[in-house]
Amino acid sequence: MTKSKNSRLVYIMALGLFLAGMTALLVAGLKQNSVYFLNVSEALAMPAEDMQQIRLFGTVAEEGLEYDAQAMGVHFLLADSENPALRIPVQYRGVVPDLFEPGAEVILEGGFVVQEAGFFNAKTLMTKCPSKYEKENRSG
């Protein structure tokens, strides 16, 4: 082989290794950042071991709401929006949004703590603001 063919082969191999490395990083990043988005009934149907990192959507139940002033957080029951009888106990540590109240729709990010059988440990708590999503009634 001539010198130019050797250098061309080196460049092709380097490009192949670079593309393989970039593909591996992309796949690993997407896998790590992918999160299930489930409602309460879907979450209850899955095994807790499969839900270490999920997004959960539901409504704050009327009963079971306890604020924890010392730990700056809240314990509550998250009810399914379509079937309120289905509930998941939730623990959240952090600043509670102003719109958080019984009946509010919330989105949680976190996971089930397997040791505490079915207890959802929320790392983030977001409330759905009804004024942003409801159509304004205008008369006249």
pLDDT per position as a tens digit, 26-64: 877 766 556 678 888 888 888 767 777 889 999 999 998
Q: Is the pTM of this model over 0.85?
A: no
Instruction: Identify the bridge partners of residue 38 per DSSP, sorted by sequence position.
Output: 56
CB 101 within 8 A of CB 85: no
The DSSP code for 62 is: S
The DSSP code for 71 is: T
The CATH code of the domain at 35-131 is 2.40.50.140
State yes or no: pLDDT of 106 exceeds 90.
yes
The DSSP code for 106 is: E
The gap from C-alpha 42 to its chain's centroid, in whole angstroms, comes to 14
> In whole angstroms, what is the distance from residue 78 CA to residue 47 CA?
18
The pLDDT of residue 60? 93
Task: Identify which has the larger pLDDT, 95 or 118.
Answer: 95
State yes or no: pLDDT of 133 exceeds 90.
no
**For residue 5, what is the enclosing H or E element?**
helix 3-33
State yes or no: pLDDT of 85 exceeds 60.
yes
The gap from C-alpha 65 to its chain's centroid, in whole angstroms, comes to 21
Looking at residues 62-84, what average pLDDT do you find? 88
The pLDDT of residue 43? 85
Of 40, 19, 23, 43, give the one whose Cα is nearest residue 31. 23
Looking at residues 66-74, what average pLDDT do you find? 84
The pLDDT of residue 125? 92
pLDDT more than 70, % of the chain: 81
